Chains A and B, each alone.
Chain A
Amino acid sequence: MSEEPEDIKPKLNLVINYEGQHITVKVKANMPFKKIFEAAEVSGTFKFAHEGKRLNSADTPAQMGLEDGDMIDAHLEQVGCFHLVS
């Protein structure tokens, strides 16, 4: 017997945005974000958020209320403490 999660249709198109560059991934609503993040990047250095709220790898689009066409923001961890005047 398969242990794959139940296939929930329809699939969602989620747009991953990094500084204006977009890629669209088609996913099941019950697919853990871990797989989606891995599809978007392999290095694991990005953090992902929807409407400003961090998405955790174990969560799913359905749990977080994402809908078809929603955008996920990818960003690098920022640091600070000197203002470099250009």
Chain B
Amino acid sequence: LIEEVYNALSSLPWSGDIRGFDSPEPIYKLATYATCHWLSTVHEDQMLDLLRRQLCLTPSAHRVEIQNMGFQKFIQEGYTHRNSGEYEESRYFRVACGVGQALASCQRDVLGFLVNLNASHWVAVVMNFREGEILYGDSLGEPIPGDLAAMLDWWTNGHTGLTFVHKLLPITRQHDGFSCGLLSFNALAHYVLPEEYLLIDSSAVDDEQLNVMMRVIKQHSQQV
């Protein structure tokens, strides 16, 4: 695997942007996948982009909605201004409202996204509207913070009038200081595509990050 990564890197230029993703990011940001540094919004969005593409090619998964890193903010802002009527009326919340309506009207069944807690920790959230469940996955095994639970309850209840049940999302337990970004994504991907994404063995996170890096490079290479 390491040899494959070296070969792939040798075919990339030193500068320029990574192509084939929603957000063009500098090529040097790929290097983080090969380190124990914390993954950032850039890497989470790249992994979510790859998952969305895979879902598009999977007919049985067409009722799954995966949102990128910006989605949490809309629910959070809507919750903050919940008594003002802004969420229902302002163009700012158009996307979040549209997603909520698509789920509530059964055009979609499942919504998944990642959340950054306290600007320091990645966790996964899945809302299954068909089952009336909110699933929360934290690789450190912590329960859902009360303010996040309240925010998600407000959003699901606002769109359906129902109170969703909270459950734990299966996720690999983290035994290091850097893999929450990978493990939270993996938990989300495993929920929506269990056969394609097995839960990662916690001892294999280094290899798995290199595998993600290879997939990103492959996607880039197909665009240039």
Contact = CB atoms under 8 A, between A and B. Distances in A.
B91 interface: yes
**Chain B interface residue count: which class?**
35 or more
A67 to B, nearest CB: 8
Interface string A50-85: 011110100000000001011101010111111110
A36 interface: no
Given A71-B92, A81-B181, A54 B120 contact: no
B178 A81 contact: yes
A12 interface: no
B70 A78 contact: no
B107 interface: no
B24 A80 contact: no
Contact of A70 (B22, B24, B73, B91): B91
19 contacts: A51-B92, A51-B95, A52-B70, A52-B73, A53-B22, A67-B91, A70-B91, A77-B40, A78-B69, A79-B40, A79-B120, A79-B181, A80-B39, A81-B174, A81-B177, A81-B179, A83-B121, A84-B120, A84-B121
Interface of B: 22-24, 38-42, 45, 67-71, 73-74, 91-92, 94-95, 116-122, 138, 140, 142, 174, 177-181
Interface of A: 47, 49, 51-54, 56, 67, 69-71, 73, 75, 77-84, 86
